[in-house]
Amino acid sequence: MRFEVPQFIEIEDKIIGPLTWRQFIYLAGGAGTLIVLYISLPFIFFVMFGVPLGVLSASLAFHRINNRPFSIFLESFINYTTKSKLYFWRKEQEQTISSKSSPQLPSEEASLPSQKRTLTALAHKLENPTAD
């Protein structure tokens, strides 16, 4: 029995003319906002606010960075700029995790560094799974 495997599942369907649904929504939202700005603001303010808004709307609809939509790039950029970039290494947490998981070690292995002791304990556990 033959089954047809879907091809090109990552390509969005063209819904409205040559545009996908997402492209149409970005362009229609940008155009609607530009119309409201044109009606409600003086021309100089319309140009100051309308041009960046039109560029944003067009780039959300059509521009791709590294073969990914501009909206994903914009979301990543906003997350990067707003979230903390300072990371702390907490040694206490790692020691408590490794001490809970390691079984009783033989006396000759007690002098090894903690990482080697943990690996040795795991090796013993693998060799003798019923020793626990």
pLDDT of amino acid 107: 54
* Alpha carbon of residue 128 to chain centroid: 41
| H or E element in which residue 72 lies | helix 70-82
The reply to whether 29 falls in a domain is: yes
The reply to whether 42 falls in a domain is: yes
Total number of domains constituting the chain: 1
| H or E element in which residue 27 lies | helix 21-40
**Domain range spanning residue 49?**
14-82
The reply to whether 96 falls in a domain is: no
The reply to whether 92 falls in a domain is: no
Give the Å distances, CA to CA, from 111 to 14, 115, 123, 132: 67, 11, 17, 22
Q: Which residue has the tokens 């059509």?
A: 62
Name the pLDDT band for 6 (thresholds 50, 70, 90): confident
**For 80-117, how does the pLDDT look when each residue is reduced to its tens digit (9 = 90+)?**
999 988 877 777 655 555 555 555 555 555 555 666 67
Tokens of residue 8, six digits: 């090109």
**For 33-52, how does the pLDDT look when each residue is reduced to its tens digit (9 = 90+)?**
999 999 999 999 999 999 99
pTM above 0.85, yes or no: no
The reply to whether 110 falls in a domain is: no
Planar angle of CA 10, 13, 19, nearest 5 degrees: 120
